[in-house]
Amino acid sequence: MTQTKLVFDPFSREFFDGPYDIYARMRDEAPVYYSEEYDFYALSRYADVAPAYRNFATYSSARGLDLDTVRKGEISSYKTIIVLDPPEHRHMRRLVSKVFTPRAINDLRDMVDAQIVRFLEQVDPSGFDMVHDFSAHFPMEIISEMLGVPPENRTQLRLWTDASLHREVGQIEMTQAGLDAVVDVMRFYYGLVKERRAHPQDDMITKLTQAEIERDDDQPPKLTTMEIAMFASLLGGAGAETVAKLIGGAPVTFARFPDQWARLREDRSLIPDAVEELLRFESPNQYNVRYSMRDVELHGVTIPAGKPVFLLLGSANRDPAAFDEPDVFDIERDRSGAQSLAFGSGIHSCLGAALARMESAVALGHMLEFMPEFDVDFDNCTRVSMQNVAGYDHVPVRVRPRPQ
Ligand code: HEM
């Protein structure tokens, strides 16, 4: 059988609709893939992706994390943690880690629970959209509560964030609507930070206005209004979109592997394992782009210095060389071997991982109560087309009536 030419296009319908067949071919045929169309390289094997995430000296984040910005090399002088290399990254991470300690996250459990219940209670079990009616809402509410965003602004912030991540097929640059949305988000947070400086409250933005950061230059140690606004806006994107996709897509995966839902119903202590397996199986963040700082020789290919390199963690998490039967969703899989890369690895590994795990576990617990048995209308599920975030935007679900 003749194979078609291997094309990996992260802005194509095939990619948005599920890239796993393409990933399998990349791992086999072109572990260092080169895109002639877009002039980037891509790593797809676990054994290459995992160390690349940790090797910030070779694969830099400082040019941005999406193809468009990395290619142009035009990153604004205002940078937030995720696009900093050391030593600036180290200083910023040390500072913001203080507001994300395991204890601080654990203290949020009641608030998280209340937000999740609030949205699930409004859902009509005889027919609802898992994403639209539920998972799109609570993560933004939770991060907004933490930051101190007033309730009346939260929906608008979520819609702006969606607009900035959205990409049409073939479109690698942000649309004008996306750019406008970024400006709107920044303007909003800038105003909120100024307001909190004038009137401190018990919230994360106020804490960040009071914190001091170590700097290598002779800048003042306090974070600037812009630095805090950038960080807040990153949390809205990184923290809300991803959890929304993880939980929104969960019914689809469980409906494809119904024995796994039954197993979870029987044994709730497996919920944390189910969260880990969902993260591995349908990683909400499929990739991050880096910028090569030097020539790299790998599998007979030279990645020249100065090129965008896709680190395809979504492919690494399905690599049979790292995970037994990777295309099987198994919440009880032995996880003592390769660690899932769903939260990245190395210095930029997800700051919000503990929060994301807790939110997702609480959500799954309530879903088991609310929808012990359910059907997914597969024909009407649709997936987002976004830069690096993957998952569903519509998942119609019907809860099966309980036997009388
Ligand atoms: C299922 C949910 C989530 C997934 C799959 C996810 C995934 C990731 C990944 C892969 C990275 C590494 C990016 C890179 O190396 O370039 C990252 C970084 C980050 N994430 Fe998450 N994330 C999730 C939830 C959250 C939440 C809830 C928050 C905060 C509220 C958050 C905040 C961040 C931040 C601030 C960074 C940058 C850390 C740094 O540069 O040092 N994420 N995340």
Which H or E element spans position 33?
A: strand 32-35
- Report the domain count for the chain: 1
| Sheet containing 128-129, strands listed edge to edge, beginning at the edge strand earlier in sequence | 128-129, 396-399, 374-376
Distance CA 199, CA 44 (A): 49
Q: From residue 227, how far is each of 64, 85, 250 by CA, in Å?
A: 16, 16, 35
Let me know: does 381 contact 284? Beta carbons within 8 Å. Answer: no
Q: Assess if residue 7 is contained within a domain.
A: no
Hey, which of 234, 289, 315, 350 would you mutate to test ligand 1's pocket, going by the most ligand atoms within 8 Å of its Cβ? 350
Confidence (pLDDT) at 333: 97
Residue 73 pLDDT exceeds 80: no
Which H or E element spans position 175?
A: none
Hey, which of 146, 343, 360 would you mutate to test ligand 1's pocket, going by the most ligand atoms within 8 Å of its Cβ? 343
Q: Assess if residue 294 is contained within a domain.
A: yes
Structural domain range at position 94: 13-399
Q: What is the pLDDT of residues 217-253, one digit of tens each?
A: 777 778 899 999 999 999 988 888 899 999 999 999 9
Confidence (pLDDT) at 209: 93
Let me know: does 295 contact 7? Beta carbons within 8 Å. Answer: no
Q: How far apart are the first and last CA of the chain?
A: 54
Q: What is the pLDDT of residues 3-22, one digit of tens each?
A: 789 999 999 988 988 899 99
Residue 2 pLDDT exceeds 80: no
Q: Assess if residue 2 is contained within a domain.
A: no
67 CA from centroid of ligand 1 (Å):
18
Mean pLDDT of the chain: 92
Let me know: does 366 contact 260? Beta carbons within 8 Å. Answer: no
Higher per-residue confidence, 386 vs 53:
53
366: domain CATH number is 1.10.630.10
Ligand 1 neighbourhood includes 49 CB (under 6 angstroms): no
Ligand 1 neighbourhood includes 93 CB (under 6 angstroms): yes
- DSSP assignment string, 292-305: ESS-EEETTEEE-T
Tokens 């939110």 belong to residue: 359
**CA-53 nearest atom, ligand 1:** 15
DSSP code of 82?
A: G
Rounded to an integer, the average pLDDT of 24-46 is 97
Residue nearest to atom 38 of ligand 1 (CA): 348
Confidence (pLDDT) at 300: 97
Tokens 């960080």 belong to residue: 231
Q: Assess if residue 196 is contained within a domain.
A: yes
**Sorting pLDDT into bands at 50, 70 and 90, what band is 39?**
very high
Ligand 1 neighbourhood includes 384 CB (under 6 angstroms): no
135 CA from centroid of ligand 1 (Å):
17
Q: Assess if residue 6 is contained within a domain.
A: no
Rounded to an integer, the average pLDDT of 124-151 is 95
Higher per-residue confidence, 359 vs 159:
359
Q: What is the pLDDT of residues 314-365, one digit of tens each?
A: 999 999 999 999 999 999 999 999 999 999 999 999 999 999 999 999 999 9
For residue 367, give the nearest of 174, 169, 190, 134 by alpha carbon: 134
Instruction: List alpha helices for 171-312, DSSP H.
Output: 176-198, 204-210, 225-235, 242-256, 258-266, 271-281
Residue nearest to atom 35 of ligand 1 (CA): 351
**Sorting pLDDT into bands at 50, 70 and 90, what band is 289?**
very high
Tokens 């030593």 belong to residue: 87
Q: What is the pLDDT of residues 297-319, one digit of tens each?
A: 999 999 999 999 999 999 999 99
Residue 1 pLDDT exceeds 60: no
Q: What share of the chain is helix, strand, coil (3-state, %, to 5)?
A: 50, 10, 40
Rounded to an integer, the average pLDDT of 266-283 is 98
Q: Assess if residue 119 is contained within a domain.
A: yes
Q: Assess if residue 107 is contained within a domain.
A: yes
Residue nearest to atom 39 of ligand 1 (CA): 348
Q: Assess if residue 5 is contained within a domain.
A: no
Tokens 């160390």 belong to residue: 51
For residue 118, give the nearest of 148, 154, 163 by alpha carbon: 154
Let me know: does 132 contact 155? Beta carbons within 8 Å. Answer: no
- The residues near 133 (Cβ < 8 Å, ≥ 6 apart) are 119, 122, 123
Highest mean pLDDT among 78-82, 166-170, 389-393: 389-393
Q: From residue 127, how far is each of 86, 130, 255, 402 by CA, in Å?
A: 49, 9, 16, 15
